[in-house]
């Protein structure tokens, strides 16, 4: 790990990431009616995510176990 900068995010990348994330956080704080869904770790996400592709031609692909 010592000397391998590919293992770490550069400062400019982190700063740019926050330009994307900050408005989302601010929107949730300013508009509590915007839903934020939580889910258990090691799952495929909240059940509400199924509504993202609710259409007769599209759906989430379920992994085979």
Tell me what pLDDT residue 41 has.
95
Average pLDDT, the chain: 88
Asked if pLDDT for residue 61 goes beyond 90, the answer is no
Domain residue spans of the chain: 5-53
What pLDDT score does 44 carry? Answer: 86
Q: How many CA atoms lie within 13 A of 37 on its CB side?
A: 10
Share of the chain above pLDDT 90, in %: 52
Rounded CA gap, 64 and 59, in Å? Answer: 15
pLDDT confidence of 65, banded at 50, 70, 90? low
pLDDT for the residue 17: 97
* Dist. CA 60–CA 51, nearest whole Å: 10
Residue written as token pair 């982190």: 14
């Amino acid at each position: 790990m010592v000397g391998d900068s590919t293992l770490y995010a550069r400062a400019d990348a982190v700063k740019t990431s926050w330009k994307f994330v900050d408005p989302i956080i601010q929107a949730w704080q300013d508009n509590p009616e915007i839903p934020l869904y939580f889910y258990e770790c090691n799952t495929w996400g909240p059940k509400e995510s199924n509504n993202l592709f609710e259409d007769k031609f599209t759906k989430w692909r379920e992994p085979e176990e």
